[in-house]
A and B are shown apart, each in its own frame.
Chain A
Amino acid sequence: MEAWVATTAIIVFYCVLCIGIGYVAGRSFQKNLEDFFVLSRKAGLIVVFLAIASTYHSAFAFLTSVAVYASTGISFWIAAMAWVIMAGVWGYLYGKRVFLLGKAKCFITPADLLSDYYQSEAIRLITAIVQALFVIAYIVVQAIGLGIILSIGSGGHIPYQEASLILMLIAAIYVIIGGLRAAYWTDVLQGVWMYIGVWIAGILITLKFFPQGIPQLMRAVSEVNPKLLVMTWKPEMLLSCITVYGVGLMLLPHLWIKYYAARDTWTIKWSSVGTVAYLSSYYIPTAFVGLAAAVLNAKGIPGVVKPGFISELVKSFGSRDAVMAYMIYNFTHPVLAGFLLAGAAAAAMSTLDSFLGSTSLILTRDVYQRYVRSNASEKELVLVSRILLLTWAFVGWYFAITKPGLIFDITAIACAGGLQFLPAVVQAIYPTKRAWINKQGALSGIIVGSLVTILLAKQIGGKLGFPIVYHPAMAGTIGLAFNVVVALIVSAVTSPPPEEKRLEYYEILKEAVE
C-alpha cells in the first residue's frame, strides 16, 4: 500500500467517526433551539472543559503556531502562554456571569444578553451582524487548515481546494445532523485526539532530527539563528496579542454559548482551570517542531529535506502554515502520520463546527426569527439554521481558496472583532451604581471599534488604501481604545439608562460573589 493511501485512509476513518457521532447526537436531539444549541444547559465538566479547550485551539494551534515558531521563535511561546492564561481567567470571570444570566433569563445567543440589558433591538441586530461577519475570518482559517491537512496527507493527490471543501462539508454535515450537540460530543473526541497527536508529533519529530533531545535542538537553533531564542516581538505586539487572543477570542459567539450550556458555576470554574493547563501545554511540543523546522530550513539534510523548504511550501499554499503537516507527513510512519494529521483535522474541525453552529444560531434567532418570520415554528427555525450553516461553510471555503495568508494574521481579525464587545459586555455583567455605558454608547462603541479595526487591518483596510498597522491584533487593540472613548463620551451626553435593569442583573449576579 502506498504511504499516502494509508495516511488518507486514517483521516477518512476519523471523518466517518465524526459523522457517526453526529448521527447519534442527532437521534437524541429534542427538536428545540435550546437543546439544539446549548444542550438544554446540562453539560458537565468534561464536556464543557474539552468543548472550550478544543474550540479555542484550532488550525491556529496545530498549524500556524509551528509556522510562527519557525519564523519568530520563542516570542510566540511567551505571548501565547500569557494570552491563554488570560483566556482561562477571563473565561471564568465573564463565563460565570454569562452562565448565571443565561440560566435566569433563558438566553441562547450573545445578542440575547446585550439586547436585554440595554433594552435595544438595534444592539441585537448589530451584535448578530458584526459577530457573524467577523466570524467569517475564523471559518476561513479552518478551511485553509483543512485544505492543507488533507492535501498534504493525500500526498498531493487531493488538491488543496477540493481537500478543503471535502473536510468543510464533513464538519457541516455532522453539525446539520446533530446540531451543536454533535459539535459538543465531537469536541470531546477531537480535544483528546488533537492533544495526544500534537505531543506525539512534537516528541517524534524532534527526536528524529535531534536524538540527544532539547539541548541538541537548542544548540542547533543557536547556531542558525540565535534570535529565535529571545523575545523579538515589540511590547505593543505582545500586549495586543494578549488582549485580542486572550479576551477578544473568548467573546466570540462559539465560545460564549459554551457558558450557557454549562450545568453549574462549579463546572465553569474547573473547566477554566483545565482550559489554561490544556491550552498552554499544547504550545510546548509545537515549539519543538517549529524550532526544528527552522533549523532544517536553514541547513537542510541531503536526501531528506532541502534548505529553504518553507519557501517552497509558501509557494504551494500561500503561507508557512503547511510546515507542521509537511513535517508529519514526510518524517513519521504513514499510519502514524494519518493519526497525527487526523489530530490536526480535529483541531480545525472542533472550532469550525462550533463557528458554523453558533453563526447559524445567531443569524436564525437574532435576525430571521426577529425580522423575517417572527411566528416561525421551531422546526422551521432549525431548517433555516441548517441552510445558513451550509451557506457560511461555503463562504468560508470561497475565501480560503484565494489563499489569503498566514492563519495567525487572519485569526486576529476575528478575535479583534470579538474584542469590540468588551466594554458593552463588562457594563452588563458587572452592574455598577453609575451606568458608565448606555445603549447609545454601547452601540456607537461597537460600530466605531469594529470599523477602526477592519480599516487598520492589512487584509481589509490595506486593500482599500487605508494606512494600516503592523498586525491585525494591534488594529483590534486600537479599535478597542476608540470603542471605549466613543462609548463613554456618547453615554455621557445622552440620557442615562433606567436603574431597573441594573438592579435586576445585580440580583441575579449576587450569586456570583456569595
Chain B
Amino acid sequence: MARRVIEEIDSHLRFRRPLDLALTIAFVVFYILIFAVYAVNRVEPMVLGLSFAYFYSLVLWVVGMAIVVASAKLVWR
C-alpha cells in the first residue's frame, strides 16, 4: 500500500488541466516581461506624461493583476 502511494506522490505536482499549465506559463512570461523593461527603458512621454518605461510597467501591472484574478477564478482551489 505504502509502495503504491509513494509511486503516485509526484502526480499531485503535475498540471491537471491545460488551463493550469496556461496560467503558469502566463506567470512566467509576466516575469520575463518585467525584466524586458530594460529593453524599453526610455524617458519619452506617453499617456499623462508618463515615461515609456513607467507606462510599460503600469500596463504590466494590470496584466499581472488580471493573471492573478484569472488564476483564482479558474485554477486555484
Which residues of A in the span 249-287 have a Cβ within 8 Å of any Cβ on B?
Answer: 265, 269-270, 272-273, 276-277, 280
As a 0/1 sequence over residues 72 to 87 of chain A, the CB contacts with chain B under 8 angstroms (1 = contact) are 0010011001100110
- Counting contact residues on chain A (CB < 8 A from B), the size range is 35 or more
A93 to chain B, nearest CB (A): 9
Q: Are A218 and B50 in contact (CB under 8 A)?
A: yes
Q: Are A432 and B2 in contact (CB under 8 A)?
A: no
Give complex CA distance A155, B45 in Å. 39
Beta-carbon contact of B6 and A502 below 8 Å: yes
* In the bound complex, CA of A352 to CA of B53 (Å): 35
B60: contacting residue among A81, A269, A270, A506, CB under 8 A: A81
Which listed residue, B2, B10, B37, B69, touches A78 by the CB 8 Å rule?
B37
In the assembled complex, which residues on chain B have CB atoms less than 8 Å from the CB atom of A376?
none
Please report which residues of chain B, range 35-54, place their CB below 8 angstroms from some CB of chain A when the two chains form the complex: 35, 37-38, 41-43, 45, 48-51, 53-54
Any B CB within 8 A of the CB of A59: no
Q: Is the CB of A503 within 8 A of B6?
A: yes
Q: Does B10 lie within 8 Å of A433, measured CB to CB?
A: yes
* A229 close to B (CB within 8 Å): yes
The answer to whether A510 and B12 have CB atoms under 8 Å apart is yes
List of A residues within 8 angstroms of B77 by Cβ: 265, 269, 512-514
CA distance A216 to B77 in the complex (A): 45
Q: How far is the CA of A499 from the CA of B9 in the complex (A)?
A: 11
CA distance A506 to B12 in the complex (A): 9
A-B contact pairs, 18 of them (CB 8 A): A74-B54, A82-B31, A82-B34, A85-B64, A89-B27, A213-B48, A218-B50, A227-B43, A229-B43, A230-B41, A230-B43, A239-B35, A269-B76, A277-B65, A432-B13, A500-B2, A507-B5, A513-B16
Residues of chain B at the chain A interface (Cβ within 8 Å): 2, 5-7, 9-10, 12-13, 16, 27, 30-31, 34-35, 37-38, 41-43, 45, 48-51, 53-54, 57, 60-61, 64-65, 68-69, 71-72, 76-77
